[in-house]
Chains A and B, each alone.
Chain A
Amino acid sequence: MSSVKGYFGKLLYIDLSSGKIEKRTIPEEDLTKFIGGRGLGAKILWDNLKKPGIDPLSPENPIIFTTGPFSGFPVPSASRTCVVTKSPLTSPVRSTYPHASTITYSNIGGFFGPELRFAGYDGIVITGKANSLCYIVIDDERVEIRDAKKFKGMRTDAFDKKILEELKDRRYKTVYIGPAGENLVRYACIIHTSARAAGRGGVGCVMGSKNLKAIAVKGSSQPNVANHKKFLTALEKARLTLQNSPSTKYWRNYGTAGYIVKSSDQGTETVRNFREGTFPEAYKIGAEAARRDVWVRDIACLYCPLACKKSGRTKGKYGGIVHDGPEYETGVMLGTNLLISDMAGLLKIIYNVDDLGIDAISVGAVIGYLMEAYEKGMINKKFLDGIDLKWGSVDATLKIIDKIAYRDGVGELASKGVKALSQKIGQGSEKFAIHVKGTELAAHNIQGNPPRALCYATANRGGCHLNGDNAQAQNFRAMIDSTGVCLFPAMDNSYEEPIISMLSAITGIEYDRAQFLKAGERVFNLEKLFNYREGFRREDDWLPDRFFEDAFTIGPKKGAVLDRAKFRDMLNQYYKERGWDTETTKPSESKIKELGLAKII
């Protein structure tokens, strides 16, 4: 057990090239400084990749699954696992390293991370590449690498069922990739419970590059906490806070899908490849329609009173799909962004995307870009292998998704992301190739929302909507992602105090809000330093021209467009606040020292 309370202080190191399995102690300082989850993952990545420019799909690049100090304790909504690796999707405008890319940290709910802690580990670090498709089984101390050849090509929904039959124990919690991950689609994701996804940045692609189909884990222990009584008191308060919060009720009723209509109504929705912020038909695929026609169950992650996952079954032409959704991101990126308003069709698309193991956000942006390029005559039907990729077409969307997952025909190029596509297609299409640093933007459109524009531009994993709209929010969220708790309940201000007191009680390190934010700032800066080392500079914190040129033509924010000069000023302010050089974005020596990062880098 770790000398730092609240942890085992133990990482499982697995090298798939040699088959070597080791249990390594985590340095005490890494736990106190980087907490867990996203922070600890960033530190492990930094330690493992000693130089920039390493090919993210090479055996050297580790894929890291981390838990936080909350994981495995009955903290409400402490269900998250963080997957950290060097992204195979991102790239800088220019760099001296051909394989330069950002860090990525993809966060997944459900049950996996807590179960990993029950097994006695704070995280798993996987390096190397197996000779053939394999999977890892962890049962407390027992760790095995097993042959997975018979699962080759298996889609995630079928695999989710099959793997439990194979393991003969329902208590195993599993994460796995689908065909897209096996086929190295750059934005392949990792799936859990056949629907929850560690979606962003291509973590499933890195898993596929290691010939790793899945990880299954079950366990029976827990770490200690520093101050048991204080923890119980804080826990009780945490439970009551969420139980009594109006937001909890909202999440339960509508999930994230509640925002589909609301966001459209306020002109902040991603519509028609980010051309508009409002979709008059949004109500057809919103939460109320879903509750009426599709949803039958509210489903929660471990110890979560929010239950934002909604499952059901569709009827009609595209009916018969049993799955969850729409959520805000899936419903918008694959719905309003493509002008699709057929609920059953949308859910079939979402199901296929999850089943194949593709990030719904990135693939939505890729298809939106292709639809626009096709409409504008920059590409023709031949380029699209005969697919008539018109706005709003469910059939064409389903076809193109298959092409991407199997990297067939047009799917070969499209599997590399919107940046790669636009570089090939050219003709000024870069203007509406919606990405930052190669990561496609998400379901929040920004012509009328400058703070969210800053959020996308400055996210360390590229175009991320969860990054936070200002430096302080970013530090807070980096810390939330490091504790193992979900961001959703933490969006409610009343949950902040219980989170901070639970963290103090578990670790025995007294945090106040300022210290909590400081730890988040340290995490954010280490990620930034990783990217800076790879060659990312200020020019990479920039948005596609669309946001500065194409004002919304409909909706309450009609006429809204970003202003380049104002946005530049916003960024200047942001870098100053961060203590980074406004020319290069390099974190200053004094900032590095202040955060205790000098020795590390």
Chain B
Amino acid sequence: MKENNFTRRDFLKLYGAGATLLLANKFGIHSIAWADPKKKSLKMVLVDYSKCTGCRTCEAVCSAYNNPVKINGENLLGLGNPVYSRIRVHSFNPDVDVPNVCNMCPDAPCVKACPVEPEPKTGRKAIYRDEKTQTIQTDLSRCIACGSCAKACAEQRTGVIELDPKTGKPRPICNLCGGDPQCVKHCPFNALSLVEVKTNRKFYGQSPKKIATELAKKWYGVSDLGGLK
């Protein structure tokens, strides 16, 4: 239970101090990867909020790439229904737009929260860090639709995990499109980039609402952000 008392602040402090091995032990097997310099580093899509215009092109290209269709035996990009995008732009009043995408947290609270027993062979829970892509992926066949991952993400980080209203299971999470994220490639305003995960970056792991509140204050001098609490 000691782990539960380990706050994000502690984590950042420790991380800043470079206490990587200690953390690796704390977070267990799934986070060793980033701690081990021989393994691939963690990467994520980073947003430059000052450049984002809220056009949501990222949503369409993400969805199109990750939901391909087979037509006459040929695999083609889908039509980009934004509901199935893994990046979601949250728009506020006054005009602040915050694209939300998996921050690839080294400690992965979503994985930790998953109550499904790890598969003996792979060590994977129903939500796990994929060895190859180093992204958080789901195994829906083993998922029990408890929503713990989404809750953990929402409470501790960005809240990017969405549950499918029909199944109650998490919708697919950013997989970095095999190393060439479509959102980064197609953003008309160059607001997105593929970078190494650094948890001490400003806004790292924060909810869109929290980010938007701060940006609204900075840009408009307004702290009363409209819409949902």
Binding site for B on A (CB under 8 A): 72-74, 76, 111, 118, 157, 160-161, 164-165, 168-170, 193-194, 220-222, 225, 228-229, 231-232, 239, 242-243, 296-305, 307, 309, 311-313, 322-324
Contacts and interface: CB of A to CB of B under 8 A. Distances in A.
Nearest to A319: B221
Nearest to A227: B71
Interface string B168-187: 00000000000000000010
A486 B134 CA distance: 40
Contacts of A225: 79
11 contacts: A232-B77, A297-B53, A297-B95, A299-B54, A300-B53, A300-B54, A300-B55, A300-B188, A312-B220, A313-B222, A322-B220
A229 B76 contact: yes
Nearest to B55: A300
Contacts of A157: 93, 226
B57 interface: yes
B81 A220 contact: yes
B70 to A, nearest CB: 10
Given A74-B64, A161-B226, A222-B81, A298 B57 contact: no
B219 A313 contact: yes
A352 B57 CA distance: 31
Contacts of B54: 299-300
Contact of A304 (B55, B77, B80): B55
Contacts of A300: 53-55, 188-189
Contacts of A193: 91, 93
B228 interface: yes
A532 to B, nearest CB: 40
Nearest to B81: A222
B158 to A, nearest CB: 14
A231 B78 CA distance: 11
Given A228-B69, A299-B53, A324 B74 contact: no
Interface in B105-163: none
A374 B71 CA distance: 69
Q: Which of A73, A111, A225, A300 has the most CB of B within 10 A?
A: A300
A307 B83 contact: no
Nearest to A219: B83
Contacts, number: 106
Given A222-B81, A297-B219, A229 B56 contact: no
A170 B100 CA distance: 13
A186 B221 CA distance: 36
* Size bracket of the B interface: 35 or more
B44 interface: no
Contacts of B87: none
A46 B218 CA distance: 50
Closest 5 CB pairs of A and B: A161-B226, A74-B60, A305-B188, A300-B55, A300-B53
Nearest to B88: A171
Nearest to B61: A74
Given A74-B61, A304-B55, A165 B228 contact: yes
A232 B76 contact: yes
Nearest to B80: A74
Nearest to B79: A222
Contacts of A311: 94-95, 220
Contacts of A312: 219-220
Given A165-B227, A232-B76, A307-B189, A74 B93 contact: no
A160 B226 contact: yes
Contact of B56 (A239, A297, A302): A302
A313 B223 CA distance: 13
Contacts of A73: 79-80
B8 interface: no
B93 A161 contact: yes
A178 to B, nearest CB: 15
B85 to A, nearest CB: 11
A164 B228 contact: yes
Nearest to B226: A161
A193 to B, nearest CB: 7
Contact of A229 (B74, B220, B221): B74
B90 interface: yes
A243 B69 contact: no
Contacts of A304: 55
A302 B74 CA distance: 29
Contacts of A232: 76-77
B9 interface: no
Interface in B45-77: 53-57, 60-61, 64, 69, 71, 74, 76-77
A225 to B, nearest CB: 7
B202 interface: no
A121 to B, nearest CB: 15
Contact of B53 (A118, A222, A298): A298
Given A232-B76, A301-B55, A305-B57, A118 B81 contact: yes
Contact of B90 (A165, A170, A221): A170
